[in-house]
Every structure is written in structure tokens, then in C-alpha cells.
Amino acid sequence: MTATHPSIPVVLALALMPIAATAHEIHTCAAGFPDAPVLSGHVHQTDINSGALSFKQITDAGEALFVARFNTCDGQGRPSATGTGDKRVADEPAFIRTSAPESNSCAGCHAQPRAGGAGDIVTSVFVLAQAADPVNFSVAPEFSNERNTLGMNGSGAIEMLSREMTVDLQTQAGALPDGAHTLTTKGINFEITKLGGVVTASRGVDTDLVVKPFHQAGVVISLREFTANAMNHHHGMQAEERFDMNPAKGFDPDFDEDGVARELTVGDITANTLWQAQLGVPGRAMPKSQEERERVQRGEEVFDDVGCTSCHVPKLELQSRFFVEPNPFNPPGTCSDITVCPEYRFDMTKQGEGPLLEKGKKGGAIVRAYTDLKRHNLCDEVTDPDPVRHFCNEHLAQGRPDQDGKPGTEFFLTRKLWDVGNSAPYGHRGDLTTIAEAILAHGGEARSARDLFLASAAQDQIAVVKFLKTLQVVAPDDED
Ligand code: HEC
Ligand code: HEC
């Protein structure tokens, strides 16, 4: 990292001061020991926007933040804060697998096939346990939703798709009279009901019509929001925009009471976000032999014929090629104020790790992510004959409202499949080890597609899996 942070000397001075004896004393960067923060400095947002830092310097700093194994000198740990950023009542162990902190770095989980990617089931997160005072006795679904680690390759394009869709949906809905309507954006339909001028019911998206593409439940708006969440949740590293500068947290410079203030600057969060947004877009790993390539092609046709593409939409088109920070729909506590984090943009078809995003028509781009960014219910009714209910295992709603009399816990975003060939294990919990198992676990809205898949010739079923296996996170452009 090239920039240094003015508050670093202050932080060090604090760390070197004799610390009053507290229950957490052992977790403080102790006086006299040769320990220093893992981060050699912080990123200034002003240096990003003045152009003092190049795109490469910003994203290198972002990567450094993603792979840093934070220590207590950096401010790792949150003795007095929960993973959702509330004040903690009960005493918190330094690390705890369920409620977290449970890991040393983002890359500790997001590591396949390299930093920024997906993760093994051992990296699962017990989502919502972080909201509680430590859940130290159970990983049962009554207390948290176990979720498998996803990869961020291509996520810049995903965020921008959801932003364009949100503007489109909100504009359409705003102009419509009360009643039931179907809105269509990028070819994807969303049913809504308007009453008294406001949207009171919706399918596949919340009634605010903000498409939230992150978390498998579809509850987070932007990479930046997710990053500030994850830094506090997993590592006890507080983003100043979420804590120090946030009226809702009383502008408390040390909300988690670990003796370190301004743990992550606005510029740090921008850099980490931009690094994720510029990661190589997943590609295709095609077999060499002509015969095998034909089978893959056949698989792609069958994938369409049996109806998989009704949700796993092969390509969506972006009107703009640019990734633009910050996201205007960011919630409070995530920078969206352009006086604090001024707009920064890069062309996803020109800049980044590579493979770069594919150019589209008229300044647009093509996103081959195999999703509709919409929530669906893959649960058959318990009373259905031979019900398929593998994906109906969660007990906690995590912001997903009930719909059509069904519990919100049954709704998940159509999973992006562009990295499915090398992001095992599968399913939101990561408890499926093969692609075929994941396909057979589709019930509810996807039951007919699953049954048509099963009814097709064995060779065609195999071809579908062969096709899906070609969708992979491939090597960055500068590697072989
Ligand atoms: C303990 C493992 C773990 C660590 C550490 C971790 N993540 Fe994650 N990450 C996950 C899991 C699991 C998911 C999927 C969550 C879900 O679907 O509910 C995820 C999802 C994400 C997503 C959303 C991806 C999508 O497509 O929905 C982003 C962005 C992300 N993580 C960023 C980070 C950043 C930045 C850090 C470090 C500050 C980090 N993660 C640390 C496990 C981890
Ligand atoms: C009604 C929408 C819908 C249809 C139709 C559909 N899917 Fe899915 N698919 C989903 C959703 C939602 C998930 C996420 C399930 C979960 O983990 O909760 C998913 C997950 C998957 C996964 C797991 C990916 C991973 O990385 O975990 C695979 C593989 C998959 N689908 C393939 C298919 C195939 C093949 C078909 C056609 C036979 C199909 N899907 C039809 C919505 C659909």
C-alpha cells in the first residue's frame, strides 16, 4: 500500500500505552512486544479521487486488505460489539466458530481457485448467529442458517445489473396506477401489487423493488455493504463509515471497545470493494476433443429445452460497461454520500484482472452469469407426491418476507452458475458434493424442469452436467 494513514501513529501510541487490566487484556496489542498492525497503512479516499493512486495501486491495496490476516494491533476482534454491529452484552470469546470472529482473513474462506473465489464447506458461515450474543452451543438451524462460501468473480457486473434493474423497476412501478402488474426488466418478470400509490406486495424482489444480488437469500445491495458487514462480522474490523462516522452508532470512534479507532477508512472499503469488482469474470474451460465439445453443446441445448434457462438466464445485458462506486441504493452506514466517497468508475470491459467483461452493443456489456437475480422457491409441498424439499432446511427468514402463504425461509436467489464447474460444494448450505445432486434437489418452482431433465435420455442428462462443468473461474489473463 502506498498511502499512510494519519491516525496510524495515534493507533500505535494507543496500543503502546499501558493497558488497564480488563477481561480482554490478553487480546490487546501489548506494550513492549515487537507486534505491529498487519496493514502497513490505510487508503485515503481523497487519494483515490484526486488520481494520486492509480487503478492498479487501489486494487492492489484492496487485495492486501482481502488477504490480510488481521491481528489485534489492526483492531481485530470486537469485544463489545456483535457481528451485526450492535452493543454486545455477554462476554465474547476472541474467536468462536458460530457467532464469529471465526477467521483471520477474507481469503481464509474465499480461496477457490484463488483469493476472491468460493470455499470449502469447512468455511461455511452460520448466518445470523453473528447477531446474537455468542451462540456457543449449537450449529442447529434454530440458531443460524448455514451457508456455503460463494465466489466474487464477476460480481462487479452483477452489482451493476441489479442497479440497472432497480432503476427500471422503480421507474415503471412509479408510473402505474393501483392494482396488480407485471414489471419486466432485462426480460425478467416481477409481479407487484400497488395500493394507495405504494407497492404492497411483490414476487422475487422486496417491495422496495431494490434488487439485492448478494447473500444467497438476496438481502445485500452492494459489494461495499457486504464488505463493511463482513469486516465487522468475521474479523471485528470496523469500517469508519459504519461506526466512527455513523450517527446511529453515536459517532463512537471505538464502538467495539478494543482500543483501536478508525480501523478501516472509507478509502480502505472503496479499495477492497473495487478489488472484488474487478476480479476476472468466469469463463469456459472447453474440452479439447471435437466429440466432447459437441456433447457440451448438446448439454447447453438440453439445459434450455428442459427449462433451466427460465431462471438460470444464460446472458443479461448491461446498458453501461462501467462499475461505479458508490451504489446510490446503499443503506445507512454504507457510504453512498458522494461528498464522502465521490464517484469512482472503471470500464469493466477494459480494466481489471481479466478475463474482462464482454463488450455489448452501444457501450453496453454482456453478463453470462446464468441467473435472473430473482428469488425463487424450490420447495415442493410436504403433501405433494414424492416431495423434493432439500433446499427447505432454513428456519430463520433473514429479511426474506413470506410470500403467497409460504415462509420467507424457502426463497433463494437463482444461483449464478458461471463458476459452477469449479466451485464445489453445491447448494446454499454446501451439503451437496456433485452437480447432479444439486439438480435433483430442485423442487417447487423448478420441479417441472427437474422432472423434464430426469425424463430426458441418459446421454442428454450427462451432457447437461458436462456443459455445466465447463463454466469455471479461469486463470487471470496474465497467467497461463
Ligand atoms: C468464515 C468464512 C468467510 C469469511 C472469513 C468471509 N466470507 Fe464472504 N462469504 C462467506 C459465505 C458463507 C458467503 C455466502 C453467504 C450467504 O449466501 O448467505 C459469503 C459471501 C460473500 C459475498 C457475497 C457473494 C454473493 O454473490 O452473494 C461477498 C461480497 C463477500 N462474501 C465478501 C467478503 C469479504 C470482503 C470478506 C472479508 C472482509 C469476507 N467475505 C469474509 C464466507 C466468508
Ligand atoms: C425456478 C427457478 C429455477 C429453475 C427452473 C432451475 N433452477 Fe437451478 N437453482 C435455482 C435456485 C434458486 C438455486 C439455489 C438453490 C439453493 O441453494 O437454495 C439453484 C441452484 C442450482 C445449482 C447449484 C449451483 C451451486 O453452485 O450450488 C445447479 C447446479 C442448478 N441450479 C442447475 C439447474 C439445472 C440444470 C436446471 C434445469 C434442470 C435448473 N437449475 C433449474 C433456481 C432454478
pLDDT in tens, 146-175: 999 999 999 999 999 999 999 999 999 999
Between CA 242 and CA 227 the distance in angstroms is 11
65 lines ligand 2 (CB under 6 A): no
Ligand 1 centroid to Cα of residue 222, in Å, is: 12
Q: Convert the pLDDT of each residue in 384-393 to its tens digit.
A: 999 999 999 9
Which pLDDT score is estimated for 6?
Answer: 37
461 lines ligand 2 (CB under 6 A): no
Between CA 151 and CA 251 the distance in angstroms is 33
Name which of 79-83, 212-216, 348-352 the model is least confident about: 79-83
Residue 61 one-letter amino acid: A
Most ligand 1 atoms within 8 A of CB, residue of 123, 139, 150 to mutate:
150
Most ligand 1 atoms within 8 A of CB, residue of 109, 122, 409 to mutate:
109
Between CA 183 and CA 205 the distance in angstroms is 11
408: alpha, beta or left? (left if phi > 0; alpha if psi -120 to 50) = alpha
Q: Convert the pLDDT of each residue in 167-224 to its tens digit.
A: 999 999 999 999 999 999 999 999 999 999 999 999 999 999 999 999 999 999 999 9
458 CB-near residues (< 8 Å, 6+ apart): none
* Residue percentage of the chain with pLDDT more than 70: 94
Nearest ligand atom owner, CA of 66? 1
Most ligand 1 atoms within 8 A of CB, residue of 152, 162, 334, 412 to mutate:
152
Cα angle value 87/211/451 (rounded, 5°): 110
Ligand 1 centroid to Cα of residue 65, in Å, is: 14
Please state, in angstroms and as integers, the Cα–Cα distance from residue 53 to each residue in 48, 57, 58, following that order. Answer: 5, 6, 6
Q: What is the atom index within ligand 1 of the atom nearest the CA of 158? A: 26
Between CA 296 and CA 466 the distance in angstroms is 6
Q: Convert the pLDDT of each residue in 219-253 to its tens digit.
A: 999 999 999 999 999 999 999 999 999 999 999 99
399 CB-near residues (< 8 Å, 6+ apart): 206, 217, 219, 408
446 lines ligand 2 (CB under 6 A): yes
Who lines ligand 1 at CB under 6 A? Answer: 102-103, 106, 108-110, 123-125, 127, 147-150, 152, 155, 214-216, 223, 226-227, 230-231, 234-235, 272, 276
Query: If pLDDT is split at 50, 70 and 90, which confidence band does 1 have?
Result: very low
**Cβ(370)–Cβ(313) below 8 Å:** yes
Highest mean pLDDT out of 10-24, 82-96, 181-195 = 181-195
Most ligand 2 atoms within 8 A of CB, residue of 414, 426, 435, 466 to mutate:
414
- Check whether 303 has a pLDDT greater than 70: yes
Between CA 317 and CA 348 the distance in angstroms is 13
450 lines ligand 2 (CB under 6 A): yes
147 lines ligand 2 (CB under 6 A): no
Between CA 123 and CA 151 the distance in angstroms is 12
272 CB-near residues (< 8 Å, 6+ apart): 62, 65, 66, 227, 231
58: alpha, beta or left? (left if phi > 0; alpha if psi -120 to 50) = alpha
- Check whether 16 has a pLDDT greater than 80: no
